[in-house]
Structure 1
Amino acid sequence: MKRVHNFNAGPAALPFDVLKRAQEEFINFKDSGMALMELSHRSKEYDQVHEKAIADLKELYHIPNDYEVLFLQGGASLQFAMIPMNFLSSEKVGNYSLTGSWSEKALAEAEKLGKTAIISSSKESKYNYIPNINELIPTDDAAYVHITSNNTIYGTQWAEYPDLGDIPLIADMSSDILSKEIDISKFSMIYAGAQKNLGPSGVTVVIVKKDLLKDIPSSIPTLLNYQTHVKNNSLYNTPPTFSIYILSLVLDWVRAQGGVSAIEKINHEKASLIYNCLDESNGFYTPHAQVGSRSNMNVTFTLPSEELTKDFLAQAKELGFVGLAGHRSIGGCRASIYNAVPIESCEALVAFMNDFKTKY
């Protein structure tokens, strides 16, 4: 079977063991005589999948008991609007840290719904660094502070998170959730599209502190109100059952690797391999992100010319390296090395990069 080196930014690589298991169970799930996609979301067979996924995520990520875990739809993009709809009152201000395109989009949605403030930004440097957490000073009337923990387009990542006291910290962790250990209690809410580290596209995970939910206005449309999904265990409407099933298998795989701490160690090794290659290339490869802000999920870099970049990407594709083109908004190259990308793929990429540099 032909398998490429998958460096796509999302939807992204899934663990091969997960794909094999899903294939084995596809036609006749748990002797039900049906594929899981055919099962009612109210059936006992699916209910076991649903409850196990929630329980496993809580266990693997050490989520405290005063948090809810929700499986929603609409991707992180819908959360950009749901957050201010639920938590931004007319007397308060939504505080945003701008570190890339996705935080800009989150801010743009909030601006349609209430008052906002930009309390830190690296836009002036083309988002090549993460602002110092000591400079993240909320406004006096802050409803919450919103950050994007990892920036896929620019290849930057928060190495530490601010302690804001009573002000809720909300993080879009779509591209680095479950890639490293974090202290969940620092956050009032974490949300993530699954299609990088958690599973396939179609399901969005929300981890939200119960205290944050108590003042949601009753005027919020039913399906856009977090309380609706809490009260109905994410089953108010038909959930993306197959995506949640694959997510559950990914969590099994994470446990088999030794848990999140083991995954974090491997991710650091993968990223170090590629960053060392960039740093030792004598300027042939230039990283976009500043040291100290570099992402362990998305390694972004440029070559000396557009012509060389095209040659690099063409030759990489011929050799089975997929998804290395940078985002269309900034160009260059990007290697997305999420949890399921094996270290062997990173080693093969580094070997190709060194060979390409030598030839040119």
Structure 2
Amino acid sequence: MPRVFNFSPGPATLPEPVLRQAADEMLDWRGSGMSVMEMSHRGKEFMSIQAEAEASLRELLAIPPNYTVLFLQGGGIGQNAIVPMNLIGRTGRADYVLSGDWSKRSADEAAHFGPIRIAASSEEGGRYLRMPAPSEWKLDPGAAYVHYCANETIGGVECFWTPDTGGVPLVSDMSSNLLSRPIDVSRYGLIYAGAQKNVGMSGLTLVIVREDLLGHALPTTPSVFNYQIQAKADSMYNTPPTYAIYIAGLVFKHVQSLGGLAAMEAHNRAKAAVLYDFLDQSRFFSNPVEPADRSRMNVPFWLRDTSLDEVFLKGAQARGLVQLKGHRSVGGMRASIYNAMPIEGVRALVDYMREFEARHG
């Protein structure tokens, strides 16, 4: 069976060259006689894999030397608790900006560890259709950090600018748009990202943290969740997600081979334009997100006649266009078009949508 165009929000489609290399090396990694899955995380083979992955990531993102890279577990949802465990103790309180379901969940979780203030929110009538404008951010200069989600996978809202938080460390959940375009890491105190969107497979969580923010964990923080302890142990205080780190390293090398993050941004702009241009001229499909804040990673859309949702999905499946059903909390459809989605997949989706509209509109 030919490979489908997989629009899953995560775990998401991976670059085919990465999958092929992983398949070639499955039984024997570089003459070691072992699969990466079988290696000791403290053996010289795996330690070289992790070191190479970190070096590639540092090069891609131009990570300054005073930032630590951690390869952890628990996903973005885990970091919703681990971030305040490690940072809120600096001053005892934190600011959160709400632009969708995930940033709200982050704030709700953080409230278990100290006073949380909502510095801005774009919620209107139970929906988030835009990023709060900079003028709406009412920041506490005494906050331990300011948290926002750079891309909301459910609502399809993305922040394309770097917030100015003065001297307060900026923390961002970049689970769904890290590596999709260049960013200035030096503007952030901490960045975290689950890997299963643009970085690789599920099981790995990346944390990039400025070194001066280490050492402030709450006394109740479990050792395995303490950034400083993990940093001293080179992310090996416990057994790290070894195979997921290996896959991430292959993805980093693949992105480098394509021209790095500037090339990824051009690729993602082109794909998103194909889909949004169609949605904007359609009278049958719609996307209500403010145009300036429309995500290039996750494009939710709705049919004018929702009774045709299942018909649409079945027809898409028959064409090899899979995982298009919207999040259960909002319904509709959602096309996740991360780095590894080729533009041919987006064009195939638009061709199908155009034909569907002609038939049912």
Stretch deviating more after TM superposition (249-258 or 83-92): 83-92
> 1:3-44 CA distances to partner (integer Å, 9 max, x unpaired)?
001100000000000000000000111111111100111111
Match of 2:293, SS state, is coil
Query: Which residue in 2 is equivalent to 1:73?
Result: 73
Give the superposition deviation at 1:215: 3.2
**Amino acid of the residue matched to residue 58 of structure 2?**
K
2:165 is matched with which residue?
Answer: 164
Task: Within 5 Å, give how 1:1-360 maps onto structure 2.
Answer: 1-89=1-89, 91-125=91-125, 126-217=127-218, 219-281=220-282, 283-360=283-360
Q: d(CA) in 2 for partners of 1:73 and 1:355?
A: 43
TM-score relative to the length of structure 1: 0.97
SS of the equivalent of 2:124 reads helix
1:129: how far off? 0.6
The CA distance in 1 between the partners of 2:275 and 2:50, in whole Å, is 37
Give the Å deviation of 1:183: 0.9
Question: Match of 2:193, as an amino acid?
Answer: A
> What are the Cα deviations for residues 108-139 of structure 1, in whole angstroms up to 9, with x where unaligned?
11111110100111121510111002221212
TM-aligned CA deviation for residue 219 of structure 1: 4.9
Aligned residue pairs total: 359
What code does the residue aligned with 2:300 have?
A: T
2:91·2:143 contact (CA, 8 Å) conserved in 1? no
CA contact (8 A) 2:141 2:167 kept: no
**C-alpha separation in 1, matches of 2:193 and 2:213:** 18
Cα RMSD, aligned residues only: 1.2
Identity among equivalent pairs (%): 46
Consecutive unaligned residues of structure 2, counting only runs of 5 or more, are none
Change (3 A) 1:270 1:188: same
Deviation of the 1:308 alpha carbon? 1.9
SS in 2 for 1:329: coil
Question: Which deviates further from its counterpart, 236-245 or 98-107?
Answer: 98-107
Q: Shift in Å at residue 217 of structure 1? A: 4.5
Tell me, in whole angstroms, the C-alpha distance in 2 between the residues paired with 1:219 and 1:149. Answer: 29
Asked if 2 retains the 8 angstrom alpha-carbon contact of 1:136 and 1:162, the reply is no
Superposed CA offset, 1:317-355 (max 9, x none): 111111111000000010000000011101111111111
How far does residue 84 in structure 1 lie from its aligned partner after superposition?
Answer: 1.0
Partner Cα distance (1:109, 1:307) in 2: 36
1:30 counterpart SS class: coil
**Distance change in 2, residues 1:289/1:187 (3 Å):** same
Q: State how far apart, in whole Å, the 2-side matches of 1:26 and 1:94 are.
A: 45
The alignment partner of 1:37 has SS state of: helix
Instruction: State the TM-score, normalized to the length of structure 2.
Output: 0.97
Give the C-alpha shift of residue 91 in structure 1: 4.7
Q: What is the alpha-carbon distance in structure 1 between the residues aligned to residue 140 and residue 105 of structure 2?
A: 20
CA contact (8 A) 2:151 2:295 kept: yes
Stretch of structure 1 that moved more, 309-318 or 165-174: 309-318
Q: Which consecutive residues of structure 1, in runs of 5 or more, have no partner in the other structure?
A: none
**2:89–2:216 CA contact under 8 A, matched in 1:** no
- Deviation, 1:66, is 0.9
CA distance in 2, matches of 1:111, 1:359: 50
